[in-house]
Amino acid sequence: MLDFAIFAVTFVIVLVGAVLYLYPSSRRASGIPGLNPTDEKDGNLQDIVGRGSLHEFLVSLHQEFGPVASFWFGSRPVVSLGSLQQLRQHINPNHSTDSFETMLKSLLGYHSGGGGASTDSIIRKKVYQGAIDTTLKNNFPLVLKLVDELVGKWKSFPEDQHTPLCAHQLVLAMKTITQLALGESFSEDARVIAFRKNHDVIWSEIGKGYMDGSLEKSTSRKGHYEKALSEMESTLLSVVKERKSQRNKSVFVDSLIQSTLTERQIMEDCMVFMLAGCAITANLCIWALHFLSTSEEVQDRLYKEFEEVLGSSPVSLEKIPQLRYCQQVLNETLRTAKLTPIAARLQEVEGKVDQHLIPKEGESNVFDPDRFEEESVKKSFHLLGFSGSQTCPELRFAYTVATVLLSVLVRQLKLHRLKDTLMEVRSELVSTPRDETWITFSLRN
């Protein structure tokens, strides 16, 4: 039986180096067994759609061709690794590819070499990653300020008021990502609202309209999508020109401007960071708070850790690595939930990660941060491209924002789920719940 452990603990789109690895173009990737493209333009896209999801497609692909199999995503040949043994042989510590970023660029029509192995591509990737790290370091007080404002708003609510979790976390993510990416001009509500309008249109098609082919069949929808994308690109290009004359060089776009990238490349990287960063940050915070609302014990353990590590002081970048249990909570949130619109959910066959057995349709649905106490499990988690590793800089950004949110929230409030609206973690869930998730807060004594 094939070892499908990688499918048990991950959303496929961020299987960096584990599921998707691009090979030089050929009709069949480097002679690896697999599928020829069924369409010159779309590759095996219709085969993926026909199976119902990328996850189901990959399971059937490996059942037919073995642990190493190839297929085509558009014009890109892709190799899928279906076992940890094969994954360990593949890992290259000197260069890694973010498959979510690669797919997002492909869907946006950006051919910027994010997944390539050329020197220019590697340099550009390092510039992108470095820009995110520098931005967090320079603007950490702003993240604290935005989180404090949100928690302060929640504290003012009556204890029986139902709070829309998804809506509030999406606003927090958008405020954070726009200001840290593009600067203080996006502290104006009008600019954030305009960003959200186009953001929502673009994400409504990515992962659905493209994957089921419905976007190409609707002239009006495609026109609406292209208009939103064009407006976003125009806004970003305008910001690039504006920031070139700014003395304050502290946000994401500034770091890109100081590199050798062209204005077009800067715009593309800003677009990817804002779209991917906003979605991943919002969904990580949504699911983390949802799971906390179902477990008073986890909340209390977090509170104890924050008190021991931080005391009465706010969290800092330097203190974050010391918040080990908080990291376990976020790791388990990431393992259990989905953060991107295109994702695989639940392992369909029995697998094993180190000494931990992942039973069929079992363990993945149980939220248990304690599973990450052991170092071997953490290493497996890193191997699969998670836990804010080098392979996904947007995820590192999301982990930082989520840690700040938990450190402020848990020390002041308790979260409670509404018993009549329990949100189940079901295999059909995509990135956020189908319906709004409502919770209540009470003051922590």
What would the two tokens of residue 306 be?
């924050």
What would the two tokens of residue 236 be?
């970003």
Is the Cβ–Cβ distance between 442 and 293 less than 8 Å?
Answer: no
Based on C-alpha coordinates, what's the Rg of the chain? 21
3-state secondary structure the chain: CCCCHHHHCCCHHHCECCCEEECCCCCCHHHCCECCCCECCCECHHHHHHHCCHHHHHHHHHHHHCCEEEEEECCEEEEEECCHHHHHHHCCCCCCCCHHHHHHHHHHCCCCCCCCCCHHHHHHHHHHHHHHHHHHHHHHHHHHHHHHHHHHHHHCCCCCCCEEHHHHHHHHHHHHHHHHHHCHHHHCHHHHHHHHHHHHHHHHHCCCCCCCCHHHHCHHHHHHHHHHHHHHHHHHHHHHHHHHCCCCCCCHHHHHHCCCCCHHHHHHHHHHHHHHHHHHHHHHHHHHHHHHHCCHHHHHHHHHHHHHHHCCCCCCCCCHHHCHHHHHHHHHHHHHCCCCCCCCCCCCCCEEECCEEECCCCHHHCCCHHHHCCHHHHHHHHHCCCCCCCCCHHHHHHHHHHHHHHHHHCCCEEEEECHHHCCCCCCCCCCCCCCCCEEEEEECC
Start-to-end CA distance of the chain, whole Å, equals 53
Is the Cβ–Cβ distance between 9 and 41 less than 8 Å?
Answer: no
- Phi/psi for 417 (5° steps) reads -80, 155
Task: Check the annotation: does 166 bind a ligand.
Answer: no
Residue 194 makes CB contacts below 8 A (sequence gap 6+) with 231, 235
Distances (CA, A) of 398 to 142, 177, 394: 15, 10, 6
Binding-site entries for heme: 392
Point out the annotated binding site.
Answer: 392
